[in-house]
A and B are shown apart, each in its own frame.
Chain A
Amino acid sequence: SAVISQKPSRDICQRGTSLTIQCQVDSQVTMMFWYRQQPGQSLTLIATANQGSEATYESGFVIDKFPISRPNLTFSTLTVSNMSPEDSSIYLCSVNPGDGNYGYTFGSGTRLTVV
């Protein structure tokens, strides 16, 4: 299965600033998925990122707040912009490597605290 390197693992940020989260996959994948997990809650899909096109955002998430880049088939970034304490969450990226095992792999997550 694919291996994802996600950075940073955690950060404490001042409100009003931005943080960019990176995910590097050890194989080429068509789609990358970005999730948010608020404290004690489930995973909510933020957007789906395809290489060479604009990401597709779920209801409640907008590009100005969560811009995503997907420059190639192994890498993506998610930026959390103009942060507020309500953005404090764990952010995770995920891929389906399409190796026939139908498994989805997840990054280790970025624990963000906004103060």
Chain B
Amino acid sequence: AQSVAQPEDQVNVAEGNPLTVKCTYSVSGNPYLFWYVQYPNRGLQFLLKYITGDNLVKGSYGFEAEFNKSQTSFHLKKPSALVSDSALYFCAVRDMINSGNTPLVFGKGTRLSVIA
């Protein structure tokens, strides 16, 4: 069975500082990994995905994530945080074996608070 762990419920960072939101995963085969962001009273917005290739994936709004197969991790990072980055972040996974007709499995979410 697939699963995702986001070990931090809340991450606080000062504006301008680098941020990291942690994610580890478990799948039976190779993973497809995703990060989504949810702003208050808004739907889920896609940030980035890892399918194959370079371990460092660049996405929207200056975010990036590094795939580490040995540590089964896919941490989300940004070099310089903005107050507007404050939101709820979800990591999600799907294994590569099954087709796109299978749903994503989500972590519990991490609330990011960027303080001015």
Interface residues of B (CB under 8 A from A): 32, 34, 36, 41-44, 46, 49, 51, 90, 92, 100-109
Contacts and interface: CB of A to CB of B under 8 A. Distances in A.
Nearest to B111: A40
Contacts of B107: 42
A106 B46 CA distance: 9
Contacts of B108: 41-42
Main secondary structure, interface of B, reads loop
B6 to A, nearest CB: 8
Interface string A69-90: 0000000000000000000000
B43 A43 contact: no
Nearest to A107: B43
B106 A98 contact: no
Given A42-B109, A43-B90, A109 B100 contact: no
14 contacts: A31-B100, A31-B101, A31-B103, A33-B103, A33-B104, A45-B105, A48-B102, A96-B100, A98-B100, A102-B51, A107-B43, A108-B42, A109-B43, A111-B41
A61 interface: no
Contacts of A35: 103
Contacts of B104: 33, 94, 104
B100 A92 contact: no
Contacts of A31: 100-103
Contacts of B102: 31, 48
